Amino acid sequence: MLIADPVKDFYRKILHERVLLLVALDVDALAACKILQALFKSDHVQYTLVPVENQVDVEKAFNDHKDQYNNVIMLNCGGNIDLLEILEPPDEVTIYVIDSHRPVDLVNFYCERQVYLLIKHEHDELAAIPDYDDLYKEEDSDAEKDSGAESDDPTQQSSKRRRFDEDVLEKRRERRHWEEKRKEILFEYEEFSYNGTSVALLMYELAWKMSKDNNDTLWWGIIGVTDQFQNKKIGRDKYVSSVLELQGHMSRLNHRFEDEENSTSINCMKINFEHDLDVALYRHWSLFESLCHSPSTATVFKVWTNNGMKRLHQFLAEMGIPLTQCKQNYNFMDTKVRENLPSLVEEAAQKFGLTNIRYQSFSAQFGYNHKMCASDMVYSVSAILENDETENEETCNNFVDALDALSKINSESLIKGIKLAKEQLEAMKNHVSSFIDIGQVMSYGPFLYSYVKEGGPDVKYFSHPIYLNYFTHHLLHSYLRSLGKTKRDKAKNLPLVMCAPLNAEQGLSILIGVPPLAEDSRKNLFGRAFLHSAERTNSQTAHDYFDPCIMTLKTEDRSKFLDALITIMS
């Protein structure tokens, strides 16, 4: 059931209750979690926090705690699965789902009790939801009734029975027609998966409506939206509309506290709106390294080729910045160069085909510490979440460190995350170069396909969904840039399927599908396609990630699974 008033129908109902909070392992969910924690702290709400990576974790966490809590909140999980069927909650348990994954499961949407959805549906999303009568129909028991009272006249008895049989046949035909129509409606509704409004932004709006918002909660809302855009979950248009909304809140908050600036400038966070460079971690790296490892620039320059590196050096020369400055850490560059860097990059970018090198973003500064931009926070927190430096570390440890990194922009966890993010980007650059050099991206007809070999360098990164998703988009973009114009025009409408080893001992692989580069809406058809392919081939698969376009399968079943996928998508 869709919640109309989140303050009245959600927050006030849990205000004096104990709450179980299930949080998915992505940056948007963690940012939303931080906002909820701040609200719970101000109102003394007791809660238990449990990180969940997939549906199996959700079931386990719910079953472990269902006897202790009657209120469950799910952040970025549960919206696109039938919770009543999977969890079988007791009658007294109420589940509040705050999820950006679309499409929403229709049982959850039409459920009148127990499951409540706190989501922001755009007009086109609401229009796509089928009518209740098209999906649910009461069973007609007339077919089970007798033909009526027995008559002594055999002729009348035969006539009644004949009419009764005709009515039954007609109702069966109507039922079959209705069921076929229902399948068509469900297929059309569930064909594509995509992401809606950031859950962190929803939680910030909840805080704002209760007049409990501040720069901290606004910053977490900004990080959630930035995570969606940076990891290709939403298109540029949706990102810009969210940014403009956040900018309005930033102006309002800054105006509120401008009279207290002298007393709060050292102790409070300052947020600034700016047109920042779309260059990864350049404030924490050298400009040269950042340009080499950012997907937005590495793909345009084709840094995996000698000519590409020459073009990169020409680009740096065009900016008029000495190479020694470009290869120094950003903090050690000349002050004038740092101040003029965005404009210098933008001017030179026009001559080298770098479009959208600057984008609307935010940065934050706490006291006199070095400022941090929202994209750097996303890189850092993502790297912490998927850090496996020590194999015996539990998921919850990374989760706690990631929450700590979101707490302050100068925390030790955040600095550690930036270091890990650099290592991940370096590994990504090396793999993209290798894949393109040896022709490891292949055309499988309706889609492109690539795979990661077992035992390769840095193969550990590919078992993590966030990294694998980011790498697959990076590889698709780079592969298209490596093609000639004619081939590129054909291939830009093709999606990419990537397969990587997940657990060599158990013979498991992880599979992900990303939409074509030309599809800015970010709608993805692989969720349903993966399911149909698995059913058709009886492959040993698991579809328990919150993103339906990511799945696991037995490596031995990969060939027949892909053959079926080609047939389905042709």
The answer to whether 457 touches 497, Cβ cutoff 8 Å, is no
First to last CA, the chain: 37
- Residue 198 makes CB contacts below 8 A (sequence gap 6+) with 28, 32, 100, 221, 224, 225, 227, 228, 242
Does residue 36 lie in a domain region? no
Question: Is residue 421 classed as helix, strand or coil in its secondary structure?
Answer: helix
Instruction: Please give the mean pLDDT across all residues of the chain.
Output: 88
Does residue 433 lie in a domain region? no
Same domain membership, residue 375 and residue 249:
yes
Of the residues 362, 395, 427, the one at which a domain ends:
427
**pLDDT greater than 70 at residue 36:** yes
Nearest to 99 by CA among 550, 547, 549: 547
Question: What per-residue confidence (pLDDT) applies to 148?
Answer: 47
| Amino acid at site 295 | P
> How are strands ordered across the β-sheet holding 442-443?
442-443, 448-451, 496-503, 508-514, 550-554, 541-542
Length of the chain, in residues: 570
Does residue 326 lie in a domain region? yes
- Residue 9 makes CB contacts below 8 A (sequence gap 6+) with 3, 116
Does residue 274 lie in a domain region? yes
Does residue 359 lie in a domain region? yes
Beta strands in 94-241 (DSSP E): 94-98, 101-102, 115-117, 194-195
Beta strands in 230-284 (DSSP E): 269-277
Same domain membership, residue 367 and residue 445:
no
The answer to whether 212 touches 39, Cβ cutoff 8 Å, is yes
| Residue where the block lists tokens 């909820």 | 36
Question: What per-residue confidence (pLDDT) applies to 366?
Answer: 76
What are 404-420's pLDDT values in tens digits?
999 877 778 899 999 99
Question: What per-residue confidence (pLDDT) applies to 258?
Answer: 56
Element (H, E) at 50: strand 47-52
Same domain membership, residue 379 and residue 510:
no
User: Could you give the CA distance from residue 150 to residue 219 in angstroms, rounded to a whole number?
Assistant: 77
Question: What per-residue confidence (pLDDT) applies to 259?
Answer: 52
Same domain membership, residue 473 and residue 564:
yes
Nearest to 204 by CA among 177, 242, 161, 173: 242
Phi, psi dihedrals of residue 111, rounded to the nearest 5°: -65, 130
Does residue 88 lie in a domain region? no
**pLDDT greater than 90 at residue 396:** no
Same domain membership, residue 383 and residue 268:
yes
Same domain membership, residue 311 and residue 279:
yes
CA dihedral 261, 44, 21, 226 (to 10 degrees): -10
User: Could you give the CA distance from residue 268 to residue 218 in angstroms, rounded to a whole number?
Assistant: 13
**pLDDT greater than 70 at residue 542:** yes
Quickly count: other Cβ atoms within 10 Å of residue 39's Cβ: 18
Look up the CATH number of the domain holding residue 516.
3.10.310
Same domain membership, residue 384 and residue 499:
no
The total domain count for the chain is: 2
Phi, psi dihedrals of residue 270, rounded to the nearest 5°: -110, 135
| Amino acid at site 25 | L
Of the residues 392, 407, 427, the one at which a domain ends:
427
The answer to whether 463 touches 498, Cβ cutoff 8 Å, is no
Neighbouring C-alpha atoms within 13 Å toward the C-beta of 475: 34
Does residue 155 lie in a domain region? no
Buried b or exposed e, range 306-319, using 16+ CB within 10 angstroms:
eebeebbeebbebb
| Token digits of residue 179 | 């069921």
| Amino acid at site 33 | C
Quickly count: other Cβ atoms within 10 Å of residue 177's Cβ: 10
User: Could you give the CA distance from residue 311 to residue 308 in angstroms, rounded to a whole number?
Assistant: 5
| Residue where the block lists tokens 């840094």 | 303
Element (H, E) at 559: helix 558-569
| Residue where the block lists tokens 């469950």 | 72
Strands 94-98 and 115-117: parallel
Does residue 83 lie in a domain region? no
The pTM score is 0.91
Nearest to 429 by CA among 454, 450, 458, 407: 458
| Token digits of residue 74 | 């799910």
Question: What per-residue confidence (pLDDT) applies to 352?
Answer: 87
User: Could you give the CA distance from residue 562 to residue 536 in angstroms, rounded to a whole number?
Assistant: 11
- Residue 324 makes CB contacts below 8 A (sequence gap 6+) with none
| Token digits of residue 36 | 């909820």
Question: What per-residue confidence (pLDDT) applies to 145?
Answer: 47
Question: What per-residue confidence (pLDDT) applies to 112?
Answer: 85
User: Could you give the CA distance from residue 314 to residue 299 in angstroms, rounded to a whole number?
Assistant: 16
Question: What per-residue confidence (pLDDT) applies to 153?
Answer: 62
Same domain membership, residue 407 and residue 443:
no
Nearest to 502 by CA among 540, 446, 447: 540
Same domain membership, residue 421 and residue 537:
no
81 CB-contact burial (10 Å; exposed 0-12 / middle 13-18 / buried 19+)? buried
Question: Is residue 18 classed as helix, strand or coil in its secondary structure?
Answer: coil
Going from the C-alpha of 200 to that of each of 99, 105, 118, 212, the distances in angstroms are: 10, 21, 12, 15
Question: What per-residue confidence (pLDDT) applies to 113?
Answer: 86
| Amino acid at site 125 | E
| Amino acid at site 351 | K
Question: What per-residue confidence (pLDDT) applies to 1?
Answer: 84
Of the residues 399, 427, 455, the one at which a domain ends:
427
What are 361-371's pLDDT values in tens digits?
999 987 666 78
Same domain membership, residue 515 and residue 557:
yes
User: Could you give the CA distance from residue 2 to residue 115 in angstroms, rounded to a whole number?
Assistant: 9
User: Could you give the CA distance from residue 1 to residue 112 in angstroms, rounded to a whole number?
Assistant: 6
| Residue where the block lists tokens 């696109």 | 80
Buried b or exposed e, range 52-75, using 16+ CB within 10 angstroms:
bbbbebbeebbeeebeebbbbbbb
Q: Cα 569 vs. chain centroid, distance in angstroms?
A: 24
122 secondary structure, DSSP code: -
- Band (147; pLDDT cuts 50, 70, 90): very low
Question: Is residue 99 classed as helix, strand or coil in its secondary structure?
Answer: coil
**pLDDT greater than 50 at residue 500:** yes
- Domain housing 510: 439-569
Question: What per-residue confidence (pLDDT) applies to 156?
Answer: 65
**pLDDT greater than 70 at residue 89:** yes
Same domain membership, residue 313 and residue 395:
yes
Same domain membership, residue 480 and residue 406:
no
What are 467-493's pLDDT values in tens digits?
999 999 999 999 999 988 888 888 889
